[in-house]
Structure 1
Amino acid sequence: MSHPHDFLASAQRTIRIEADAVAALQQQLGEHFNAACQLMLNCTGRVVVIGMGKSGHIGNKIAATLASTGTPSFFVHPAEASHGDMGMITAADVVLALSNSGETPEVLNLIPLLKRLRIPLISMTGNASSSLATAADIHITLSIDEEACPLGLAPTTSTTVALVMGDALAVALLEARGFTAEDFAFSHPGGSLGRRLLLRARDLMHGGEQLPQVSPDTLLRDSLLEITRKGLGLTTVTDESGQLCGIFTDGDLRRALDQRLDLHSLPISDVMTRGCKTINPELLAAEALNLMEQWSITALVVVEQNKPVGILHMHDLIKAGVV
């Protein structure tokens, strides 16, 4: 009968080994890292990442992270590069090659071609004396004490530190470029992040015929009809020149009823809220949401030169996936 395995002990040992290796990366950073960043920052083409096996999987992720954070990049499989995909790499590019041993044949086979085209080569290996490291223009060392795999065979710690170093490169370049959240959203237009960062108040507001609007001398009862017709739970109050004077909401109506005011003869100007919260049409929807939460309200008047052009409601933000 086999003894039960201590899964937790295995997991804890793995995490400890990999965490120690990641922490040790800070001591390995130096001028070579700065030089690699500067080379990629100055690149007029793309950063082409190559790697075989597990290094290839990590390289693929690094390329994707670079591309989504402002550094044009893509991954090329080194074996496929020897059979036609080398044509994807141009003299304006920079190549970032990953190999823990630094002796991966499929990667080394590309070096003469890269040298012939004078394409700068950055290597990331665990052996600074390896063939790939010595052939590279810039080498980033990723030495580790041990793999988390107890057999020392499966790439575990080595791939983790490579992934972390790739993130370090991407973030350093992101900050150097002054890359913004809106820039990031343009790389992710289909996701919830893109909706949060690309949609503006103008895109979601109710304007035109949907905009509830009455004049200051409109009777309260008639204002209620406008609120009902437009279905937004409020109406704007504007003067003859179209300037915003105030707003009347469901909350204002409740307060008027509590005071037993005459709904039939009272003008809206007597009960409207003056100095209401407004926003610009170009304000990001995510920022509008923050304002609604800050002010504990569910709608904002969108204005241009103090003239109402629309109403942005919390329901619109929810429907668009901004919340």
Structure 2
Amino acid sequence: KLEKVKKRESSILTDLEKTNRQLSRVEFELRKYRKRLIETESNISKVENEISLNKSNIERQREWIKRRLRAMQKYGSTSDTVMLLLSADDISQVMRVGKFLQYITVYEHRMLNAYREDMEDLNEKEKQLVKLKTELMNNRERVEAEEASIAKTKKEKEMLFASVRREESSYKNMLKELKDASKKLLDVIRESEKTDSFSAKGFSKLKGNLPWPVNGKVAIPYGSQKDPQFNTPIFRSGAYIQSNDNSFARAVYNGKVVFAEWFKGYGQLVIVNHGEGYHTLYGSLSEIFAKVGDIIKREQVVGRVGNSGILNVPGLYFELRYKGKPLDPLQWLKKR
């Protein structure tokens, strides 16, 4: 047991990030197969409608062919033509009748060709329908498999958290790692300020008027807290806003993306420079929609909310920093 604890203490955040990366890959695959599933269902519905239309056309054409065959059987295939020509009074009428008969022949040929083409099209559509239904079944199986994989990975994450919570040394080690990660994050921000020429004004006047980066409720607030189990002091540099899995994280103000990738302890993270020394951080994302260098607008989507951070519930980890120092983000957001 001691060896297991020591191994875990080597880097809890590394184990967590490995699990989160695996979870992120599986969730991406799940979204892909769910999209395919919806597209396949839509295609099946479309093809079924086309088949129904084809069958209606074919039925009308069959009725016309039956009537034509009965007429030919009753009067003969050429008798009606001969009678029409003999009933003409002069050559001009004969020519008109002949032209009329020619139109009838062309029409009959078109009807028969249309019948043949519709039958061929129906055959192809029915083959397509069988293929789509097979594809639908395969996609459903893939979705079920990915959902099972996600459930398994989430269970592993829960077990990792449970083991950390049971052992005070592991928990303290994780808090130390998070503190170190926060310092490294400060280095990233300071480095970006040195190398990035982006400048903007106006952010400092928006305290209490910024839009919320995601709809949800604050699960963990900013600031100093004390762990109830181990009585350990904790300082949280940001707020965790719990929300739905498929919610989108939006920039609270215009700015430039200076970081957009995985960061240990923060999951998938986007950092936006708003000028005047202000930065906002959007962590625990399941998917990032921005890249370094992008100029973004207020309320523009920067990512999809997930649980790639240190918590095991969907939500957004949100920080606001001035010259690298964390500020209480809730004091800057609009009151609700």
Q: Which of structures 1 and 2 has the bigger CA Rg?
A: 2
Would you call these one fold, judging by a TM-score over 0.5?
no
The normalised TM-score by structure 2 is 0.21
Structure holding more helix per residue:
2
Structure with bigger RCO (C-alpha 8 Å, 6+ apart): 2
So what's the TM-score if we normalise by structure 1?
0.22
